[in-house]
Amino acid sequence: MSVILSVHGLTHRYGDFTAVNNINLDVKAGQCFGLLGPNGAGKSTTLEILEGVLKPTRGEVRYRGLPIDKNFKQEIGIQFQSTTLPDHLTVYDCLKLFSSFYQSHTPLPHLIKQCQLSDIADQFHYTLSGGQRQRLLLALSLINDPALLFLDEPTTGLDPQARLHFWQLIREVKQQGKTIILTTHYMEEAEQLCDQIAIMDRGEFIAEGSPDTLLSDNFLPQIVELNGEYSERDFDGLPVKISRCAGQTRVECHSFNDLLPMLNASAGSSSGMSVRKPHLEDLFLKLTGSELRL
């Protein structure tokens, strides 16, 4: 796949504060790229620069190998965290208004069907539920048939059912060959949707790669969480990694079956346990030592 968006030496400062510190990035065409991190990490500033909204202090952004110019905005779509729409417009009116902003646009009936707006096309936008509003905002971001789509925390505040529904819409958009840059605080969302991710903290990328690769590089295949305090002696001779916190022992292992002899012999094994695969939040905690802050 060819690189559609590239960043070299990107830095941005607000006075003496460095929000983004010398980052490099290549986003390949057709990918869903996730930009993750806690508030204050620098991802919002990075996203604004990639969208052409903010000029960097230093560095450059290239689209299809060329510096971004005034035509760039005709080829991208943006779903902001919050968008203020004019009063007293229906869903259809909003689509019609936004279509007038572009030299060409996707036929409105197609967008209405794609984003599942048929049943609410005649409703005023301010009467929509959270999930319905996000589908409208997605349709507005797709109205110019963009090659590159920016989604800024699009499912924040949605209930689980609406979030899963929105994920399916994003998958369908990606299947059309569009490139997506997604920011999210939901680690499961990133694992489900993203081909590549970058985790930011304090203005820098602290990890970059596919979710599967990052997890396999940093963890053993399974995590067993045990209630109670266990020491390294309890797992003597086993290829495991152990950590303890708040009365619980977490054991990374190649297979839960490796632990069965020890657990069967331990009187404390009946106090409770869980077995799972590592996930992206584990990675964030390991790399930063802090929780994902919303």
**How far apart, in whole angstroms, are the C-alpha atoms of residue 230 and residue 232?**
7
What's the pLDDT tens digit per position in 88-98? 999 999 999 99
43, 200 Cβ separation under 8 angstroms: yes
Residue whose tokens read 């919050």: 82
The pLDDT of residue 293: 44
Residues forming a β-bridge with 249: 226, 244
**How far apart, in whole angstroms, are the C-alpha atoms of residue 190 and residue 184?**
7
Two structure tokens written together for 292: 């994902």
81-117: burial string, b at 16+ Cβ within 10 Å, e else: eeeebeeeeebbbbbeebbeebeebbebeebbebbbb
**How far apart, in whole angstroms, are the C-alpha atoms of residue 21 and residue 42?**
9
Two structure tokens written together for 51: 């969208």
Q: Where are the alpha helices (DSSP H) in 100-186?
A: 108-114, 130-141, 160-175
Query: Would you say residue 247 has pLDDT above 90?
Result: no
- Section 122-147 average pLDDT: 95
CATH superfamily of 3-215: P-loop containing nucleotide triphosphate hydrolases (3.40.50.300)
The pLDDT of residue 59: 96
The pLDDT of residue 11: 97
The pLDDT of residue 259: 84
What's the pLDDT tens digit per position in 193-242? 999 999 999 999 999 999 999 999 999 999 998 888 887 788 877 888 88
Q: What is the dihedral of CA 40, 208, 138, 166, to 10 degrees?
A: -100
Least confident of 4-8, 74-78, 248-252, 275-279: 248-252
The pLDDT of residue 270: 45
Two structure tokens written together for 108: 């409105």
**How far apart, in whole angstroms, are the C-alpha atoms of residue 227 and residue 211?**
28
Q: Interior CA angle at 115 toward 109 and 121, to 5°?
A: 55
**How far apart, in whole angstroms, are the C-alpha atoms of residue 80 and residue 274?**
38
What's the pLDDT tens digit per position in 17-65? 999 999 999 999 999 999 998 888 899 999 999 999 999 999 999 999 9
Proportion of the chain above pLDDT 90, given as a percent: 69
Average pLDDT, the chain: 90
**How far apart, in whole angstroms, are the C-alpha atoms of residue 47 and residue 32?**
14
Q: Interior CA angle at 182 toward 188 and 90, to 5°?
A: 105
Domain 219-288 has CATH 3.30.70: yes
Count of C-beta atoms within a 10 Å radius of residue 124: 15
42, 17 Cβ separation under 8 angstroms: no
What's the pLDDT tens digit per position in 61-75? 999 999 999 889 889
The pLDDT of residue 291: 52
The domain spans of the chain are: 3-215, 219-288
Q: Interior CA angle at 208 toward 280 and 24, to 5°?
A: 150
H-helix or E-strand spanning residue 95 = helix 91-99
55-66: burial string, b at 16+ Cβ within 10 Å, e else: ebeebebebeee
The pLDDT of residue 40: 85
30, 177 Cβ separation under 8 angstroms: yes
The DSSP code for 90 is: B
The pLDDT of residue 290: 56
Query: Would you say residue 269 has pLDDT above 90?
Result: no
The pLDDT of residue 292: 46
Query: Would you say residue 267 has pLDDT above 60?
Result: no
What's the pLDDT tens digit per position in 142-162? 999 999 999 999 998 899 999
- What is the edge-to-edge ordering of all strands in the sheet holding 58-63? 17-28, 3-14, 58-63, 66-67
Query: Would you say residue 287 has pLDDT above 90?
Result: no
Query: Would you say residue 289 has pLDDT above 70?
Result: no
